Structure 1
Amino acid sequence: MLIKKFVVFLASFCFAVGAHAAGLKVFEVPADDDGPALKAVQWSPCAQPSQRIELGPFVLDAVRDCPLAGNKLPLIVISHGFGGTGLSHHDTAEALADAGFMVVALNHPDDNAITLASNRSNTLAALVNRPQDIKRLVDYMLAFSADSTAIDARRIGFYGFSRGGYTGLVLGGASPDFRELRLPCQDPTGMTCERVAPQLAPAGPWVHDPRIKAFVIADPLSDVFPGKENIQAVTMPIQLWSSQNGGDGVLPAVVDALAANLPEKPDFHVVPDAGHFAFLTMCPPAMAKSAPKICTDGPGFDRAAFHQSFNAQVLTFFRQQLVEGISP
């Protein structure tokens, strides 16, 4: 037993050594019969000091096109929430890449910030297509990416926020019931928003992906999983996060019910004094001014300090499940 523990420790140490920054690549998954082109961002271990990179409204700590450091790397895929982008959680991606993971995040074509701005978003189509988007991204990373040979296909994890959390639950085996879904409206609680008309509620089939072995789910859209029967097939390890105050249609009580109904007990965290958007990355000053709804937290809540703790706990979970939990 002592020898086995030492081997696991040594493998974990060798896995992380040499990574000093996050290498950054922007790429596109080509359109195919299963969907349109996907714009994506990749972070990977890099043995060079980080730089400040301005990309859209965000400021990243990374190195453009840095040579990849390491091999047999676990892969983490990130799914943003409604109106987000592949950069909405870049600090979490950077922390994981700094520690030896390869991380990719995409713009979901139907409900990212650009499609919403151009009024081309179809909310129901987005919820149906999102799991397929992630499956196509994983397919590309394993088969066609320039760094595909450096990925360990046995060690794939997922992080999703809000609608991204919904996406992860479906990928993990859940079957949503859209008759419970309320469409977006001005009510931040979502309680007065109009429900989807029954005749318009999609019925599947839903895209699941058993290649994903561990999930971090933050403040998920989960009212479409009203009972245990909707999530009975979700048995992979889950670290589940809930903001104390919720918002944007996500109710803490519904996330609590999800935690209670999952067939395998999740690693469940409730973040005191946090609102729904606390899981988004810190906003640069210009973005904070232009998007106060997603950038402003409640009195006394320090988003930067929370993200230091959050990223560390996400990293610990993925190390336990994808590094220590899978034999070399």
Structure 2
Amino acid sequence: MMRRSGMLMGLCLLAGSLPGAAWAGHAGFRTLAISEGDGPPLDVALWYPTEAAPRPTQVGPFVQSVAPGAAIAGRGLPLIVLSHGTGGSRTSHADTALALAQAGYVVAALDHAGDDWRDRSRVLDVAGRVRQFGAIVAAVVAGEGGATIDPARVGAFGFSAGGFTVLAAAGGRPDLDRVGPHCEASPDVYDCRLIAAEAARGRHLRPAAFTPAPRLAALVVAAPALGFTFTRSGLAAIAAPVQLWQAGDDEILPAPHYVEPVAAALPHPPDHHVAEGARHYDILAPCSPDLVAAAPEICASAPGFDRAAFHARFNAAIVAFFDRALRRPGDAPQAGGPSGAQRKAP
């Protein structure tokens, strides 16, 4: 179970690495356009620690308490880069990004070009996703956005297709030849229906060369797409600690073909959490009224499941995990708790 010490850690993470005592857990927010290859710049959202007072601000479909455009507090900061699922956006996990920024992290989230809410013409370009993710890591570490990042303290968060992206960016090598037999056996599962629909348009999922991101020191992977394509040898290069999240009632990527193969193949046992009663889209930020109106299919939870209450625990556990993995001498004391065990997250 998530420990109370871990939840408290989410409130004070990395305070020791920030200058002075004025910073009070406030988050700043800005948007960036970062070049990647010859295509149009990628749209990126940046949350970060600041000493400036926040105010209610529109962030995508959400209103968040942030200081837009404020100065970044601290140097040598840890960075977390977020990768959304198919058809998502840079604000798909806005509440998690805000919690991390309030805890002292710089958080960058991109719209994956060709696989976001505006354009899904390249939903099967999984190598392109990984390349885009790596470009954002490299750019923000190099100073894009104005933060001074400690390159030894870079972590990643990925959901669904973003979970696959993060694993591949960290050095994982999927065996995409496994997709055909899987979809022959399970043609009605979401990813197989998507692959079939794209094939009808002349677009195909093909084996590809993946470009790893600069070294990732910790990974949070939630409901990873194509999890069955990762074997023990395919994940052997991942040395970073992994926190793995599973929606207990995932109707999109159902057990046992997605989370379970990743958990079994990782070279070190992950910090595995099962959110009992959660559906796939409950991993997304709790919906605002605008999002409920625009995309009701991603906002409906099972009767009795409280997405907002779950996210309070989810975000605290993620902050505590990154603290354990990325903290340095002088930071706040490490949150306790065993790793490598499957935990129930109600």
Q: TM-score range by the shorter chain?
A: 0.7 to 0.9
Residues 1:178 and 1:15: Cα distance change in structure 2 (over 3 Å) = same
Q: What CA distance in whole angstroms lies between the structure 2 residues aligned with 1:203 and 1:165?
A: 18
Deviations 1:19-49 (A, max 9, x none): 432100011002434x541000100101233
Correspondence 1:1-12 to 2 at 5 A? 12=14
Correspondence 1:9-158 to 2 at 5 A? 12-15=14-17, 18-33=23-38, 35-116=39-120, 121-125=121-125, 127-148=126-147, 150-158=148-156
Please, which runs of 5 or more residues in structure 1 have no aligned partner? 1-9
2:256 is matched by which residue type in structure 1?
A: A
Residue of structure 1 in register with 2:5 after alignment: none
1:253 is matched by which residue type in structure 2?
A: P
Give the secondary-structure state (helix, strand or coil) at the position aligned to 2:208: coil
Q: Which moved more, 1:262-271 or 1:48-57?
A: 48-57
Residue of structure 2 in register with 1:288 after alignment: 292
1:266 and 2:270 are equivalent in the alignment? yes
Q: What CA distance in whole angstroms lies between the structure 1 residues aligned with 2:263 and 2:135?
A: 28
1:158 is matched by which residue type in structure 2?
A: A
Give the secondary-structure state (helix, strand or coil) at the position aligned to 2:64: strand
Higher RCO structure, 1 or 2 (CA under 8 Å, sep 6+): 2
Residues 1:65 and 1:11: Cα distance change in structure 2 (over 3 Å) = closer
Deviations 1:263-303 (A, max 9, x none): 11100001000001111011111321331110110011111
Question: What TM-score, normalized to structure 1?
Answer: 0.86
Q: Which moved more, 1:155-164 or 1:222-231?
A: 222-231
Residues 1:188 and 1:275: Cα distance change in structure 2 (over 3 Å) = farther
Contact 1:222 1:258 in 2 (8 A): no
Residues 1:83 and 1:22: Cα distance change in structure 2 (over 3 Å) = same
Q: What CA distance in whole angstroms lies between the structure 2 residues aligned with 1:240 and 1:134?
A: 19
Structure 1 residue 226, shift from structure 2 partner? 4.6
Residue of structure 2 in register with 1:165 after alignment: 163
Residues 1:13 and 1:284: Cα distance change in structure 2 (over 3 Å) = closer
Please, which runs of 5 or more residues in structure 2 have no aligned partner? 1-11, 332-346
Deviations 1:221-270 (A, max 9, x none): 0345253222222221100000011132x123121222122111100001
Q: What CA distance in whole angstroms lies between the structure 1 residues aligned with 2:242 and 2:145?
A: 30
**How many residues get paired?**
309
Give the secondary-structure state (helix, strand or coil) at the position aligned to 1:108: coil
